[in-house]
Each structure stands twice: as structure tokens, then as C-alpha cells.
Amino acid sequence: MTITFLGTAAANAFPEAFCKCRNCIQARILGGPSLRKRSAALINNDLLIDLGPDIMAASQMQGCPLDDVRYCLQTHPHADHLDLSHLLSRSPSYGVVGAPILDFYASRETLELAAETFERDLAGYSLLSSEAEKHLNLKIHQIQPLEPFTVGPYSVMTFPANHAPGMGAMLYAIEAAGCSVFYGTDTAPLFDQTWQTFRQQKMRFDVVILDHTYGPEQPGTDHLSAHQVIEHANRMRSEGLVGSHARVFATHIAHEGNPAHPDLAEFAKQHGYQVAYDGLVLKV
């Protein structure tokens, strides 16, 4: 399995274009891995996690076309994770050639909110109508928390995120060809039920990707902080949920409280995890 990070920033990107804070200034000076777009990831070449606002830019900058993407797992409808205009721009009526039908998976709440926005702001018809499926080369799938399902070659398990109450935010465990990855953003500390399900299902992850919105000196709120990431990683290790060669990566990194990449990566190294950056490709 290959995991490509298309974006690793929190909602306001890093550097935040309008910001003069120390972290943003430092990120501009350093460039490279310190420049982060809004979070999204690609598994192999066909499974996208989040139809995010920066995926077009990421695709161009990283030389990573999304023309083989057949499946999208949507975490939630927050604007830093879902830009519905991509559904129009990838459709045949916008001149797109050869894109496969997109199987789009999201919770009922995410789909209802997306449908409302799409009809009101973008197309004049509902995202949940047969019209949408026909015009957009799209198939919508409603998914439930804690219910496994199959997406092409992938076995997927959903977990309710501790984030955005009422929006049906989801976290995903994705398994294929004997490799397993947990994609855990956006979320505050995982619910007890999630830990229970990890144990009941005897899950064992090769790669764990966690929300790291808040930095080493900040408390977590509706997202995880650096210290909470460390606690989650330690708990996963002590409960045998990760193999001995497993790697834990931070993503969804905000400019407030997180230093530019080299300093954050050094902090992470000292605490047993790694920091993802835009364009990082993991071979699992």
C-alpha cells in the first residue's frame, strides 16, 4: 500500500497567508516540508480521503494526478475537508475525459449538509438525486459509524470522530493486501467505544495517522494536541494495536502552537512519532 499526503495542515493552512506569527514567518523562510496545504491523503492511486479544497494544487505541485481515483472516503463536511466544486469540475460536462465513476462515501449527516450546500450554491439540484449521479459521474454511498464495508480492494471500518457534533464526522481504518492504516483526523481524544472496537476486532495498524492541530505547549480541545498524540500512540503500543514496525504520523497541523517542520519533527522524534508533510509518500 502507498499513502501520499496531499495536505497536512489544519483549516487555515500553514503558513496562514495573512499571518505574521513566528511559526508562519519561519515556515515561509524554510519552505519545503514546512509549507502545508489543507489535509487530504491518497491511498495507492485510487482511494482519496477527503475531497479537500487544496487537492488540485497538491496534485499539480506533487506531480500526482488524481485521474485514477475511483473512491473517496469523506471524513466530514467542514470546508477544509470538502470542496464540492470538485464534483462539478471532474464531471464530463466540464470537459473531463476518462475519469472513472467516483464512489463517494460519507455519513448521513455529511451527505445531507453537502446536498444542501451543493443544491443552493453550486448546481440547483440535489447531490442525492439520480440527476446528480448522471451528471457528475458519481455514486453516493451512505455509511454508518462502526460498520465495516468494502470499497474495491479495501476493507474499511468507520469510527465516530470526537469532533463537530451533528455532522457525522468519521475516522477510518483501511486495510488492503495485509496492510492496515488508521486515518484519525479531525478528532479530539478517541471515544472509549473506538478503543473497545479496536480490541474486539483485533485491529493491528501498520500506520497510524493522527490529528495534531495543537502544538507541544497547547491543550487539546475539539482536536488533539501534541501531548494527546503522544498519549494515543503510547496507548496503542501498550494495547498491542500497532506492530513493532508501525509508524505514527501527525497531520492536520495548525500554525498556532506548532513550529515549522524541522523543529516539530525533532520534537516528534524525541517522543516516538513522526510528522507528515505535503508530498510525503509512505510505502507500507
Residues interacting with Zn ion, by CB under 5 A? Answer: 11, 16, 19, 21, 24, 78, 80, 186, 255
Minimum CB distance to Zn ion, residue 65 (Å): 24
Residue number with CB closer to Zn ion (52 or 279):
52
Q: Enumerate the β-bridge partners of residue 283.
A: 2
Residue number with CB closer to Zn ion (175 or 186):
186
Three-state DSSP at 171 gives strand
CB 180 within 8 A of CB 173: yes
Minimum CB distance to Zn ion, residue 161 (Å): 8
Minimum CB distance to Zn ion, residue 46 (Å): 23
Minimum CB distance to Zn ion, residue 93 (Å): 30
Q: How far apart are CA 180 and CA 241, in angstroms?
A: 11
DSSP assignment, residue 162?
Answer: S
Return the amino acid letter for 163. H
Q: Is 154 exposed, middle or buried (0-12, 13-18, 19+ CB in 10 A)?
A: buried
In the numeric block, which cell numbers belong to residue 2?
502507498
Minimum CB distance to Zn ion, residue 15 (Å): 6
In the numeric block, which cell numbers belong to residue 38?
489543507
CB 5 within 8 A of CB 278: yes
Residue number with CB closer to Zn ion (51 or 246):
51
Smallest CA-to-CA distance from 74 within 107, 46, 100, 99 is with 107
Residue number with CB closer to Zn ion (40 or 136):
40
Residue number with CB closer to Zn ion (46 or 80):
80
